[in-house]
Structure 1
Amino acid sequence: MTKPLIVVTGASSGIGAATARLLSAQGHPLLLLARRSRRMEELALPRTLCRRVDVTDRGAVEAAVHEAQERFGPADAIINNAGAMLLGRIADQPVDEWDRMIDLNVKGVLYGTRAVLPGMLARGTGTIVNVSSIAGRKTFPDHGAYVATKFAVHALSENLREEVAARGVRVVTIAPGAVETELLSHTSDERIKSDYEAWKESAGGALDPQVVAEAIAYAYGQPQSVTIREIVLAATGQEA
């Protein structure tokens, strides 16, 4: 049986790229969205449409989803993975970093969801997977604005589940601890980056993105009548 289309945002590296590889290996056609098209194309996955899209551009997200559905059929799932982690103190972090995280981490999830949800509701089936963070469940030093956006993802996911569960659509929140990705490199405060790296090392290292991808695939792979509402995972040595 032909497997259905899945949309993955933030697919050019880290969790998104690992998830794309895994779902492709399981036989799914994919729509991959990210700002770095070359990195997505280098994955060289079959039956995959790669589009250079910033998920804060709602029109571009909707256009790409429409194009993919015309080619591969209805989207059965979206992995809302695109995000930014720009660490800083509320007192002196550049405000444009707050804006970037709010736009990407919150509005990007909303825009991705809106692009596929009406069709899912019409068909009475589908899965929304929102990649959040342990920082959506507890606070960390120098994470204030980032934590706020990830708490928002958790709240949005729960509220959305209440809206759509009775109509056959599942909502899953994936909340990893520290993961070996490029996220930290975008933080502008070098002391905070150094402290984070030292903290990560003290915990014995961070999760491999593949582990998070497998958690996503596990949740999605359950019967449609079963929703894994949330998966929280971290390196064993990560205490916080």
Structure 2
Amino acid sequence: MNKLQGKIAVVTGASTGIGATIAKELAMEGAHIVLVARRLDKLNKVKSEITELTNNKGNVMAVQTDISDKNDVYQLAKKVQAELGNVDIFVNNAGQMLAGTVRSGKVEEWEAMVDVNIKGVLYGIDAVLPSMLSRSTGHLINVASVSGLEVTKTSTVYSATKHAVRAISMGLEKELARTGVRMTNISPGMVDTDLSSNNTWNDRKMLETKDIAKAVVYAVTQPDYVNVNEVTVRPV
């Protein structure tokens, strides 16, 4: 408890599911939280839940943002800097998991996944990384997927975007060596969220959102000289 006292953590895709739970777990460790998503009503609900959970300790800010819009993301970073201060932890959690086959010809859905899952991740990193580098401290978390490790016949495009997230994470880990800024890639297996509501993989229990949030907390609460680069979380 309170291992992140006073730290400022931004979580994208925080209106539901994994993102909302990550935000709650970070708040329980004492972090000030910035909730980011497109649906402000849902963000405000999570904000109220965090305030109640932490007995009104710490700041909680809800910022309506489309992470696929680079100007939106850069304005988010400016708002956080002006109202709370420097971002210490940035969690790239927002994602789209739509029809992933190439044969489907659903170009709009491919574009949505590329815009959110790849471009959104890069925009978020670019918005906060210069400040982290100037201070020689900070932690970037990319939430990828086991679909970035394996490809099924129905996940081609989605898996491609999550492979890209892992590549970005792996490259940044090397780029940021000895800068003081840490990079962690989290690859969840199937988690019980709205995104997985149509899954047909019924042969094993799905993970809970808290399982992924605990992995994030583990990575960001390590000593400054420890960089947890890759965490894969699968159901048994």
Q: Which stretch of structure 1 is more off in the superposition, 206-215 or 56-65?
A: 56-65
SS at match of 1:202: coil
Which amino acid letter does the alignment assign opposite residue 141 of structure 1? K
1:218 Cα offset (Å): 0.5
1:87 Cα offset (Å): 2.8
5+ residue gaps, structure 1, are: 186-192
SS at match of 1:11: coil
User: What TM-score, normalized to structure 2?
Assistant: 0.91
Cross-structure match for 2:181: 169
1:59 Cα offset (Å): 1.3
CA deviations 1:173-201 (Å, max 9, x no partner) are 0001000111145xxxxxxx4xx32x1x2
Cross-structure match for 1:9: 12
| 1:106 to 2:118 alignment | yes
Cross-structure match for 2:203: 202
Which amino acid letter does the alignment assign opposite residue 29 of structure 2? Q
CA 1:93–1:209: 2 relative to 1, 3 Å: farther
Which of these residues, 15, 27, 32, is aligned with residue 29 of structure 1? 32
* 8 Å Cα contact 2:187-2:233 kept in structure 1: yes
CA 1:91–1:116: 2 relative to 1, 3 Å: same
Separation in 2 of the partners of 1:2 and 1:14? 24
User: What TM-score, normalized to structure 1?
Assistant: 0.90
Fraction of identical pairs, as percent: 38
| 1:151 to 2:154 alignment | no
Which amino acid letter does the alignment assign opposite residue 220 of structure 1? V
| 1:39 to 2:42 alignment | yes
Cross-structure match for 2:224: 224
1:93 Cα offset (Å): 4.0
Which amino acid letter does the alignment assign opposite residue 202 of structure 1? D
5+ residue gaps, structure 2, are: 52-58
Aligned length: 224
Separation in 2 of the partners of 1:42 and 1:63? 22
1:88 Cα offset (Å): 3.4
Separation in 2 of the partners of 1:173 and 1:2? 23
Separation in 2 of the partners of 1:112 and 1:9? 9
Cross-structure match for 2:54: none
